Structure 1
Amino acid sequence: MEKMGLWVGLVLLGGASTAFAQGNPSAGKEKAQVCGACHGEDGNSSAPIFPKIAGQHASYLAKQLHDFKTQRRPEPTMSALSEPLTDADIEDLAAYYSRQKIRIEKGPSNSAGEALYRTGNPATGVPACTGCHNPGGNGNPLAVFPQVNGQYAAYIEKTLRDFKSGARGNDANGMMRAIAGKMSEEEIRAVADYLSTLE
């Protein structure tokens, strides 16, 4: 029964967030000028500390902007930039960036990271990442699970460490905090390295 409640909650959350994602990409491109300074004109940032948002699900982008705006995900720069955004602005920005194409880094695949991503670590209770983010790393827009393939390794590492420490807490039902809390530093680095080159 508890699992059913969690599933229903995720479906409802996904349904609610897709309501944010019906924006106008042309209007979003006009509104994205200030975003380009950190995230790149097309959502492919040039600095690994800033996430690539090109091709990210509109539902996820909208959720993060709302969370920055309401301080559910506190981050000084993003909170300040998102505070004046209207719901329509957020929908338009999410629609624009979701239609861009992510540029994936070239390099050898990290076999330890791939093993963790695909099978988890049963000994420590770390589940396979594929359960939420899918084998190709393209996530699940209805459940608002982000696309993670092709993201900078440095950004994935920071994100996992923030979930692990509790510095970031806008994950549904604390799922990412619970998972990252069981991951070792070596596992964080390996899975981040693997995802950065996953096409």
Structure 2
Amino acid sequence: MTIKTNWAAALLAVSCWAVPAAAATPAGPVDGRDNLARMQKSTPAEQKAAFEAGRKVAQFCANCHGEQAGARYAELPNLAGQHPVYLLNQIELFRVGRRIEPFMQGLGKALSPEEKAGVAFYYANLPADPSIATPGPRSAEGGQLFARHCARCHGAAGHGGENFPRLAGQQPEYLRQTLKRYLKNGPERIYPPMTAAVTGLGEQNIEAVVAYLSSLK
């Protein structure tokens, strides 16, 4: 398998992580889902092998998202600790063109189902550390706001799930930019439930939620 990349273009587009309203989750079967289910039920030795195989494939991702899934750029998401089904779903959305980014779309088409499952399995099993070690002055306030406006989908601890990303420990700038893009309902971020949630949160409270989530374990 040979994949030619334009990392500048990839970085610019992946930073948006734009999910159209109709494409929050794949509509049909997900390429690699059976492979992932098999990995999750396999023996410890087989899981170790799957993890290592996924790590090798993830070298394509490391240029932007970092060697240990701590993103190299402040505006990109950390992938460590994400739910493997969520990650696999996003690869599928890129593959079928319901998320638009040339490099990610090409990667989704080039990888085999086994490779996609391996990448998702690898990232899901990496430890996810907080981006900020010490909570900011508005962190406690942000926790209350998160519980009121965000926890129903992203979970009480911000760990996400099959259909929603993990927000706990994400980079502050990534969280900040993403929330503001949803608030403005621009082309980078189109998902009405999120726009409604951030509108209810209010722009003046974004920094409090960012302070809370970026330091959350």
TM-score over 0.5 for the alignment?
A: yes
TM-score range, shorter chain: 0.7 to 0.9
The match for 1:131 among 132, 152, 164 is: 152
Q: 1:13 to 1:188 in 2, by over 3 A?
A: same
For residues 17-42 of structure 1, what are the alpha-carbon distances to aligned partners after superposition, in whole Å with 9 as ceiling and x for unaligned? 69364353232111111211111112
**Residues 86-105 of structure 1 correspond to what in structure 2 (within 5 A)?**
86-104=112-130, 105=132
- Alignment match, 1:7: none
Paired AA for residue 142 in structure 2: G
Deviation at 1:113, TM superposition (A): 1.4
For residues 136-175 of structure 1, what are the alpha-carbon distances to aligned partners after superposition, in whole Å with 9 as ceiling and x for unaligned? 111233xx22211001111112222333314223x5xx42
Tell me how far apart the structure 2 counterparts of residues 177 and 90 of structure 1 sit (CA, whole Å): 30
What is the SS of the residue equivalent to 1:35? helix
Deviation at 1:82, TM superposition (A): 3.2
Tell me how far apart the structure 2 counterparts of residues 33 and 79 of structure 1 sit (CA, whole Å): 16
Larger mean Cα displacement after TM superposition, 101-110 or 179-188: 179-188
**Residues 39-78 of structure 1 correspond to what in structure 2 (within 5 A)?**
39-78=65-104
Note if contact 1:73-1:168 (Cα within 8 Å) is conserved in structure 2. no
Note if contact 2:91-2:116 (Cα within 8 Å) is conserved in structure 1. yes
CA RMSD of aligned residues (A): 2.7
Tell me how far apart the structure 2 counterparts of residues 159 and 76 of structure 1 sit (CA, whole Å): 20
Q: State the percentage of identical aligned residues.
A: 32
Q: TM-score, normalising length from structure 2?
A: 0.69
**Residues 103-118 of structure 1 correspond to what in structure 2 (within 5 A)?**
103-104=129-130, 105-109=132-136, 110-118=139-147
Matched residues, number: 175
Q: 1:190 to 1:74 in 2, by over 3 A?
A: farther
Larger mean Cα displacement after TM superposition, 99-108 or 51-60: 99-108
Note if contact 2:154-2:166 (Cα within 8 Å) is conserved in structure 1. yes
The match for 2:181 among 147, 162, 184 is: 162
Larger mean Cα displacement after TM superposition, 66-75 or 47-56: 66-75
Q: TM-score, normalising length from structure 1?
A: 0.75
For residues 54-75 of structure 1, what are the alpha-carbon distances to aligned partners after superposition, in whole Å with 9 as ceiling and x for unaligned? 1111011111112222232223
What is the SS of the residue equivalent to 1:163? helix
Tell me how far apart the structure 2 counterparts of residues 28 and 96 of structure 1 sit (CA, whole Å): 5
Tell me how far apart the structure 2 counterparts of residues 198 and 14 of structure 1 sit (CA, whole Å): 32
- Alignment match, 1:19: 33
The match for 2:57 among 6, 28, 31 is: 31
- Alignment match, 1:152: 171
Deviation at 1:76, TM superposition (A): 4.1
Deviation at 1:48, TM superposition (A): 1.6
Q: Where do 5+ consecutive residues of structure 2 fail to align?
A: 1-24, 40-49
